[in-house]
């Protein structure tokens, strides 16, 4: 992401026009869009959750100062008109645009201050992005339109995390606080935003509906026939989502369906499947801190024993792209010439022979309910079996696994899982997965390599884009050389939409669910 | 010897019970001889991704699964898991339930009251609900499924033995032997237990069917042994993602569960008619 | 008088039984290897974030204190907060109970309406082809795995032939809740489109659930009718020249039903057990689906709440069965 010092607003507008073709004068009723979502909207509080599966309630009902657009994602000012960054990289001054909340009151700097302090006080959702960087009470409203963030330490990724500061209507939330709960109970089922859509109905067991907010700051001139109503319904079963799209009950669903289902959708004349390379890598964590995985030869043996082609080409029908490194191929900082490991049992045996000491039974972790992780573990077990390494597969629920991931003793020897985009900066992957200071928190590999760590911490604070890129490329190579994990693929997004839907804009952060650009023909 | 031959004759005469017995024998044979009977025994641990989700054919009688493994072979090996779970869980429940029931039925004091109250609490909730709670807590594995099932099934036997013991104590010959100074253990083992053995056998056989169903349900919910285990319930759960195209994936393991449970139910019904005439399935026999 | 005393006695036992149940679920859930709090905090959570949440949910306190707090809470109708949804579990359970009760009621009704007449026919025409066919049906009804039957129904009726919806409870948001039973609420509001949709969605899950229940009803009705037919009373009526049909439907059935009513507890228990998986397959937003989701989230507060509610419903249902039995059984 190019860090220039002053953003101007024009770029989004241009992008919007580009996305929609020639803008026509706004017309009448734009219709309703029903999206079938795989995960349940348990809460609508934009500061309580921070996952990709429930991003729609955050980006449609709320606005942030900045926002991610398109693919590869670029960051643009959104509620902010411009941002000034001090030379030492620690003071960020945002100037707000004229915007209104859904109740008609103006969006002011004090609302931004309340929102960031609420995130810091709740310690949930996106909190960890700001922990240690933004101190509670350090953000100031200079006047109604100017808000200043004074960072505790320089951070190259701060701007990339600003979109997660969803601005809530401070007065409204405060009015609905109970016992100093920061309005969490109320906000979990109500809307205090300024976003493009305004909440109409919500039922945690069903989903939510919202109507177009006509006074949204960005205006609606750019969109021909914008939607009047959107509905996000929870539909857990894949088959129901697919059938619903094929018979027209739903107009969109998530883009990470199994390939067999994508095939069915493509055959339907009601559905168009859009394809994009996302930024969601699939890999296996290796517990680098425990024998025998602390031996590089054993890790290499692991990396050579996985059938990447069988997994990608057969089990996933070629629906994903091989990603040999921890950083997604399409993220800057990813070395273009990296080829990575292939299935090679001979080499695996060679490396295994160099491992000192006896090799015990290895525990392969998988996430219960996520078939792909089980299949990957089974495939690795198959390969390791052939080179004489005994393994045991353990599939546990995500809460159990994520608890164990933070404990050096309880962590599995290996664990297959995904790493999604929370913000589009290499630090989202490399800095969190392999920095020494993150050990036990987000570095679940107990991997700490001085050289890599130096590159990562430099890149985390540097404002020199070229230097950051070089550091990440080098760190990527070192991590591959070290076989720090088994890096498998980067997800492709196959977004199925009703063929009458126009203007879907995909970004790895919003997953194509920002509905303000969409219209129905 | 005489009685055994008599029983056998009765069983053969009851066609449905004989059918049940046959199914059970087939299940045991399938489990023991799985490596011989299966067409692709290596498919339990080795996978063949290019050949995944093939429909049934001469090569793969029940088609192949998501890893390209032969479903027919995996079902045979799955029978081993099913038998192991059912036999061990029922065995453990019986081993806990019988002593508890005997003691509670023999001594009528606060201990027996307490024991029966505890089993009442367990019986107050449908078994599957408690089994889910236990299996979920312990984590998914065969051992934990067995534990969950034993922990929820023993009260059935405790209750049964308790009731039978209480009534047996009223029989004159038992009263007599107690009066003659027989030790409690002698009374329980010599007089009470043989007296209630037939109803225990009947209950155990019918219980096997129920246990297999519950175990499959736990497997279906993801609380059984993890992938790539060929456990039947988990196979059905795996298949859902590939429906309706891969219909064979769900069909075969479901049929296996159905047949085996039916086998135990039919056999248990037959046994009841022969051994436990008080609770015949209908008055006309 | 004796019945009243018995009923009262059972009511008294309700409290210690429920408390015992609470103790069991609490014990189970506190052996838990999971760290659900870490999960709520999200995969980017810091140690500090997790500690704060632990304090908030009280899971940092000693176990006896947690148990005490839980018991006191439950007594006040507070089942704690779901670790996953962060909402009060009592609210979640209350909002999902009607869906399960509606499904269970329709299934029981279905199994009675179909099971009783078939049971009578089988008894009257003993050893006919119908009797044999129905016997095969009852045996298989109890041997079939409910989740598998549900999937087969989906495969055929929803996916292959598209005559029923695949899953869900209704199209759209459903009628405004009065009773929480969509069939009643939509009919009450005169919203026939919603009513049709509710019926349409109800068909597959109700039949799946009713299948084993129907088998039990049929089996006991048949046995009861046979018992009654062979009684002296019927012989006497026969001798008095009362038409056989009248005897069967008026005298015999009544006695046969008593036997079936005693089995209602068993039927209901099976129904609830099967509801867990059937709701999961049909995505029916009731208690069973809630439990299955809670399993996937290792939400042990929610699982405890579910187990308690199921236990309570089951115990109360059995109590009602006893009372009804006492009322209709003249032998008392």
A249-258, B68-77, C124-133: lowest mean pLDDT where? C124-133
- Work out the number of other CB atoms within 10 angstroms of the CB of residue A44: 24
The answer to whether residues C104 and C272 touch, using CB atoms and an 8 Å cutoff, is: yes
Q: Which residues contact A122 (CB under 8 A, 6 or more apart)?
A: A47, A48, A182, A184
CA pair distance C11, B224, nearest whole angstrom: 37
Closest by CA position to A512, among listed A192, A209, A198, A254: A254
Measured in residues, chain B has a length of 285
At C332, the pLDDT band (50, 70, 90 cuts) reads very low
Which chain B residues have a beta carbon less than 8 Å from that of C226?
Answer: 282-284
The answer to whether residues C164 and C242 touch, using CB atoms and an 8 Å cutoff, is: no
More confident residue, A334 or C62: A334
The reply to whether residue C38 touches residue A440, judged by beta carbons under 8 angstroms, is: no
pLDDT of residue C324: 75
Nearest by CB to residue C283, choosing from A43, A124, A240, is: A240
A290 backbone φψ class: left, alpha, beta (φ>0; ψ -120 to 50)? beta
Question: To probe the interface with B, which of C9, C139, C143 has the most B CB atoms within 10 Å?
Answer: C143
C21-44 pLDDT, tens per residue? 888 878 877 665 556 666 566 555
Q: For residue A157, is pLDDT > 70?
A: yes
A346-355, A467-476, C65-74: lowest mean pLDDT where? C65-74
Share of residues in chain A with pLDDT > 90 (%): 68
The reply to whether residue B129 touches residue C276, judged by beta carbons under 8 angstroms, is: yes
Q: For residue A18, is pLDDT > 50?
A: no
Residue C121 sits at the vertex; the CA angle it makes with C117 and C123, to the nearest 5 degrees, is: 115
Number of H helices, E strands in chain B: 12, 0
- What are the structure tokens assigned to B23, written together? 């199914």
pLDDT of residue C239: 75
CA pair distance B105, B120, nearest whole angstrom: 14
Mean pLDDT over A41-68 rounds to: 91
Which chain C residues have a beta carbon less than 8 Å from that of A53?
Answer: none
Phi, psi angle pair for A361, to nearest 5°: -70, 135
Mean pLDDT over B97-106 rounds to: 88
C43 lies within 8 A of chain B by CB: no
Using DSSP's 3-state secondary structure scheme, residue A280 falls into strand
At A16, the pLDDT band (50, 70, 90 cuts) reads very low
> Where are the alpha helices (H) located in chain C, listed in sequence order?
2-29, 36-41, 47-57, 63-75, 89-124, 129-143, 146-153, 182-188, 192-229, 232-239, 244-246, 253-262, 264-282, 287-297, 300-328
Mean pLDDT over B171-176 rounds to: 78
Bridge partner residues of A230 (DSSP): A33, A210
Q: pTM, whole model, 2 decimals?
A: 0.86
Q: For residue B254, is pLDDT > 80?
A: yes
C166 lies within 8 A of chain B by CB: no
Q: For residue A4, is pLDDT > 50?
A: no
Which chain C residues have a beta carbon less than 8 Å from that of A233?
Answer: none
The reply to whether residue C298 touches residue B213, judged by beta carbons under 8 angstroms, is: no
The answer to whether residues B168 and B192 touch, using CB atoms and an 8 Å cutoff, is: yes
Q: For residue A12, is pLDDT > 50?
A: no
Mean pLDDT over B220-237 rounds to: 91
Phi, psi angle pair for A69, to nearest 5°: -130, 145
A83-92, A121-130, A377-386, C4-13: lowest mean pLDDT where? C4-13
pLDDT of residue A88: 86
pLDDT of residue B277: 55
- Work out the number of other CB atoms within 10 angstroms of the CB of residue B15: 11
A447-502 pLDDT, tens per residue? 999 999 999 999 998 888 999 999 999 999 999 999 999 999 999 999 999 999 99
At B278, the pLDDT band (50, 70, 90 cuts) reads low
Q: For residue B22, is pLDDT > 50?
A: yes
pLDDT of residue C34: 53
Q: For residue A147, is pLDDT > 90?
A: yes
pLDDT of residue C38: 61
The answer to whether residues B111 and B119 touch, using CB atoms and an 8 Å cutoff, is: no
At A24, the pLDDT band (50, 70, 90 cuts) reads very low
Sign of the CA dihedral running A309, A311, A316, A317: positive
Radius of gyration, alpha carbons of chain A: 23
Which chain A residues have a beta carbon less than 8 Å from that of C166?
Answer: 237, 239-240, 243
Q: For residue A314, is pLDDT > 50?
A: yes
At B228, the pLDDT band (50, 70, 90 cuts) reads confident
Beta strands in B65-125 (DSSP E): none
Arithmetic mean of pLDDT over chain A:
89
Arithmetic mean of pLDDT over chain B:
85
- What are the structure tokens assigned to C33, written together? 């290897």
C95 lies within 8 A of chain B by CB: no
C24 lies within 8 A of chain B by CB: yes
The reply to whether residue A239 touches residue B222, judged by beta carbons under 8 angstroms, is: no
Beta strand pairing call for A252-253 and A32-37: parallel
The answer to whether residues B132 and C29 touch, using CB atoms and an 8 Å cutoff, is: no
Share of residues in chain B with pLDDT > 70 (%): 95
At A434, the pLDDT band (50, 70, 90 cuts) reads very high
More confident residue, C255 or C223: C223
pLDDT of residue A29: 54
Which chain C residues have a beta carbon less than 8 Å from that of A400?
Answer: 33-35, 298
Nearest by CB to residue C43, choosing from A42, A239, A402, is: A402
> Which chains touch C (3+ CB pairs under 8 A)?
A, B
pLDDT of residue C302: 86
Q: For residue A17, is pLDDT > 60?
A: no
> Which chains touch B (3+ CB pairs under 8 A)?
A, C
Share of residues in chain B with pLDDT > 90 (%): 37
Mean pLDDT over A350-359 rounds to: 92
Q: What is the largest CA-CA distance in chain B?
A: 76
Mean pLDDT over A175-197 rounds to: 91
A282-296, B9-23, B27-41: lowest mean pLDDT where? B9-23
The answer to whether residues A24 and A448 touch, using CB atoms and an 8 Å cutoff, is: no
Closest by CA position to B134, among listed C63, C300, A366, C81: C300
What single-letter DSSP state applies at residue B107?
A: S
The answer to whether residues A63 and A94 touch, using CB atoms and an 8 Å cutoff, is: no
At B257, the pLDDT band (50, 70, 90 cuts) reads very high
CA pair distance A352, A387, nearest whole angstrom: 8
At A56, the pLDDT band (50, 70, 90 cuts) reads very high
Size of interface A-C (CB pairs under 8 A): 114
Using DSSP's 3-state secondary structure scheme, residue C168 falls into coil
pLDDT of residue B262: 92
A165-179, A372-386, C39-53, C81-95: lowest mean pLDDT where? C39-53
B17 lies within 8 A of chain C by CB: no
pLDDT of residue C41: 61
pLDDT of residue C6: 67
CA pair distance B68, B58, nearest whole angstrom: 15
pLDDT of residue A190: 95
Mean pLDDT over B95-107 rounds to: 89
């Amino acid at each position: 992401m190019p860090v220039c010092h002053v953003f101007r607003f024009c770029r989004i507008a241009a992008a919007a026009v580009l996305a929609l073709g020639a803008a026509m004068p706004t017309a009448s009723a734009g219709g309703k869009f029903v999206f079938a979502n795989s995960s349940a909207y348990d809460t609508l509080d934009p500061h309580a959750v921070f996952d990709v599966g429930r991003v729609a309630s955050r980006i449609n009902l709320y606005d942030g100062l900045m926002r991610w657009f398109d693919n590869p994602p670029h960051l643009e000012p959104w509620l902010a008109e411009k941002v000034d960054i001090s030379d030492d990289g620690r003071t960020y001054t945002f100037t707000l645009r004229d915007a209104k909340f859904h109740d008609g009151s103006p969006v002011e700097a004090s609302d931004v201050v309340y929102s960031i302090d609420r995130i810091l006080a709740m310690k949930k959702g996106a909190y960890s992005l700001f922990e240690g960087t933004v101190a509670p009470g350090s953000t100031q409203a200079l006047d109604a339109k100017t808000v200043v963030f004074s960072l505790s330490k320089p951070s190259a990724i701060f701007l990339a995390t600003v979109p997660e500061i969803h601005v809530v209507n401070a007065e409204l939330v405060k009015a609905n606080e109970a016992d100093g709960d920061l309005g969490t109970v109320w906000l979990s089922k109500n809307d205090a935003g300024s976003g493009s859509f305004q909440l109409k109905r919500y039922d945690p067991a069903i989903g939510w509906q919202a109507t177009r907010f006509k006074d949204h700051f960005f205006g609606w001139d750019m969109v021909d026939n914008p939607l009047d109503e959107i509905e996000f319904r929870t539909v857990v079963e894949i088959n129901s989502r697919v059938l619903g799209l094929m018979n027209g009950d739903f107009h969109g669903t998530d883009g990470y369906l199994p390939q067999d289902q994508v095939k069915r959708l493509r055959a339907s004349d009601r559905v168009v499947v859009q394809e994009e390379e996302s930024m969601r890598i699939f890999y296996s964590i290796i517990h680098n801190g425990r024998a025998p995985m602390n031996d590089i030869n054993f890790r290499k043996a692991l990396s050579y024993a996985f059938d990447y082609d069988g997994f990608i080409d057969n089990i996933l029908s070629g629906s994903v792209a091989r990603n040999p490194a921890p950083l997604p191929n399409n993220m800057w900082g990813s070395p273009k010439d990296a080829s990575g490991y292939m299935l090679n049992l001979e080499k695996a045996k060679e490396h295994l022979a160099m491992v000192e000491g006896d090799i015990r039974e290895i525990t392969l972790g998988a996430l219960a309910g996520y078939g792909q992780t089980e299949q990957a573990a089974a495939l690795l077990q198959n390969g390791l079996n052939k080179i004489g390494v005994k393994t045991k597969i353990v599939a546990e629920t995500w809460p159990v696994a994520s608890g164990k991931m933070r404990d050096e003793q309880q962590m599995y020897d290996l664990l297959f899982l995904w790493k999604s985009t929370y913000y589009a900066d290499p630090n989202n992957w490399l800095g969190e997965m392999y920095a020494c200071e993150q050990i036990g928190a987000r570095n679940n590999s107990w991997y700490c390599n001085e050289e890599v760590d130096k590159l990562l911490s430099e890149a985390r604070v540097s404002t020199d884009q070229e230097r950051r890129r070089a550091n990440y490329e080098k760190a990527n190579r070192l991590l591959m050389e070290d076989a720090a994990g088994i890096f498998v693929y980067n997800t492709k997004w196959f977004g199925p939409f009703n063929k009458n839907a126009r203007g879907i804009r995909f970004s790895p952060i919003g997953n194509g669910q920002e509905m303000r650009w969409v219209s129905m023909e | 010897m005489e009685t055994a031959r008599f029983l056998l004759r009765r069983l053969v005469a009851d066609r449905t019970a004989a059918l049940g017995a046959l199914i059970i024998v087939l299940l045991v044979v399938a489990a023991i001889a799985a490596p011989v009977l299966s067409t692709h025994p290596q498919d339990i641990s080795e996978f063949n991704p290019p050949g995944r989700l093939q429909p049934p054919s001469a090569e793969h009688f029940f088609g192949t699964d998501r890893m390209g493994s032969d479903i027919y072979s995996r079902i045979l090996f799955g029978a081993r898991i099913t038998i192991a779970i059912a036999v061990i869980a029922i065995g453990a429940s019986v081993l806990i339930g019988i002593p508890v029931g005997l003691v509670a039925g023999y001594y009528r004091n606060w201990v027996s009251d307490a024991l029966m109250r505890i089993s009442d609490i367990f019986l107050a909730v449908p078994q599957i609900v408690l089994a889910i709670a236990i299996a979920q807590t312990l984590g998914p594995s065969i051992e934990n499924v067995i534990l969950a099932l034993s922990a929820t099934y023993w009260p059935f036997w405790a209750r049964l033995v308790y009731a039978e013991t209480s009534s047996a104590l009223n029989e004159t010959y038992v009263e007599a032997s107690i009066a003659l100074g027989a030790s409690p253990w002698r009374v329980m083992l010599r007089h009470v237990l043989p007296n209630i053995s037939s109803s225990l056998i009947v209950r155990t056989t019918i219980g096997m069917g129920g246990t297999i169903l519950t175990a499959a349900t736990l497997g279906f919910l993801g609380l059984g042994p993890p992938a790539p285990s060929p456990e039947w319930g988990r196979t059905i759960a795996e298949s859902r993602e590939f429906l309706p195209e891969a219909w064979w994936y769900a069909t075969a393991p479901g049929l296996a569960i159905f047949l085996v449970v039916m086998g135990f139910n039919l056999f248990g019904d037959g046994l009841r008619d022969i051994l436990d005439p008080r609770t015949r399935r209908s008055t006309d026999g | 008088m004796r019945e009243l005393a018995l009923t009262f006695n059972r009511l008294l036992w309700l409290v210690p039984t429920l408390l015992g149940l609470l103790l069991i679920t609490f014990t189970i859930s506190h052996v838990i290897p999971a760290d659900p709090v870490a999960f709520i905090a999200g995969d980017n959570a810091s140690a500090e974030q997790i500690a704060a949440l632990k304090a908030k949910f009280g899971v940092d306190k000693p176990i006896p204190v947690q148990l005490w707090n839980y018991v006191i809470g439950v007594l006040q109708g507070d089942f704690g907060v779901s670790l996953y949804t962060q909402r009060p579990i009592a609210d979640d359970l209350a909002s999902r109970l009607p869906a399960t009760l509606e499904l269970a009621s329709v299934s029981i009704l279905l199994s009675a309406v179909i099971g009783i007449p078939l049971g009578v026919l089988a008894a009257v025409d003993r050893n006919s082809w119908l009797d044999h066919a129905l016997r095969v049906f009852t045996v298989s009804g109890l041997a079939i795995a409910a989740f598998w039957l549900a999937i087969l129904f989906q495969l055929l009726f929803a996916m292959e032939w598209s005559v029923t919806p695949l899953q869900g409870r209704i199209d759209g948001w459903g009628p405004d809740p009065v009773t929480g039973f969509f069939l009643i609420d939509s009919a009450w509001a005169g919203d026939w489109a919603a009513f049709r949709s509710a019926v349409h969605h109800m068909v597959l899950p109700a039949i799946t659930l009713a299948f084993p229940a129907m088998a039990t009803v049929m089996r006991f009705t048949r046995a009861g009718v046979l018992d009654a037919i062979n009684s002296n009373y019927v012989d006497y009526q026969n001798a008095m020249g009362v038409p056989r049909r009248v005897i069967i439907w008026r005298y015999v059935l009544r006695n046969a039903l008593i036997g079936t009513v005693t089995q209602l507890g068993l039927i209901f228990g099976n129904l609830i057990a099967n509801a867990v998986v059937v709701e999961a397959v049909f995505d029916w937003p009731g208690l069973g689906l809630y439990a299955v989701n809670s399993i996937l989230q290792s939400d042990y507060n929610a699982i405890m709440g579910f187990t308690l509610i199921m236990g309570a419903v089951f115990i109360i249902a059995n109590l009602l069965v006893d009372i009804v039995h006492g009322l209709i059984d003249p032998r008392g």
